[in-house]
Amino acid sequence: MEEKILEILAANNEDILDYTGDNMLEDGIVDSFEIIAIVGDLEEEFDIEIDAAYVVEEYFGNKDAIIKLMKMLLG
């Protein structure tokens, strides 16, 4: 699962994989359109719906946060 998530992130923006900060949106690594695209790609790949309440810095601040969220959502 983690490998597939990283593939999705890289397909949207390879800089995400090298980013080590806590807020890639604020730091200019991604923009809001890329976040929306990532959410859509994750939902499609894993056949889930990610509630808008999860689309916040805590869960989309960096690749590790996204992986943690997906593990939580997928059990």
One digit per residue, the tens of pLDDT, for the chain of length 75 reads: 999 999 999 999 999 999 999 999 999 999 999 999 999 999 999 999 999 999 999 999 999 999 999 999 999
pLDDT score for 68: 98
Give the residue numbers spanning the domain of 6: 2-74
What distances in angstroms separate CA 38 from CA 11, 33, 50, one per listed residue? 9, 9, 11
Total tally of structural domains belonging to the chain: 1
pLDDT score for 52: 97
Q: Are 30 and 37 in contact (CB under 8 A)?
A: no
CATH number, domain of 17, equals 1.10.1200.10
**Look-up: residue for tokens 């998530």?**
5
Question: pTM for this structure?
Answer: 0.94
pLDDT score for 29: 98
Q: Any residues with CB less than 8 A from the CB of 22 and at least 6 apart, and which?
A: 57, 61, 62
